[in-house]
Amino acid sequence: MWGNFGYGWGFAFFPFLWIIFWVFIAFLFFGRWNRHGRYWQDHQSAEDILRERYAKGEINEKEYKERLEVLARHQK
């Protein structure tokens, strides 16, 4: 009735699914990306977080220096 179409588009679709699967696995194991499209470290240091908060304006210069001193004292 429909003729002999064989596998049709399945020959191209099935490998495409495998490619998507392996790309997904690669992203899970080899890195995470933040919302800005840059590589995001799994663990930021306390100084990095403090620097970021100061840059965003969440804390002022006095707070930044005080907290940086506290971190420096506890790292020794």
- Bridge partners (DSSP) of residue 33 are 39
Rounded Cα distance between 45 and 33, Å, is 18
Residue pLDDT, tens place only, 28-76 = 776 665 555 555 555 678 888 899 999 999 999 999 999 999 998 887 6
Examine residue 5 and state whether it is found in any structural domain, yes or no: no
When pLDDT is averaged across residues 14-29 and rounded to a whole number, the result is 84
Whole-model pTM above 0.75?
no
Q: Does some domain include residue 39?
A: yes
- In a 3-state reduction of DSSP, which class is residue 7? coil
Say how far apart CA 29 and CA 2 lie, in whole Å: 45
**Rg of the chain, C-alpha, whole Å:** 25
Whether 2 maps to a domain, the answer reads no
Host domain of residue 65: 10-75
Which DSSP state fits 5? -
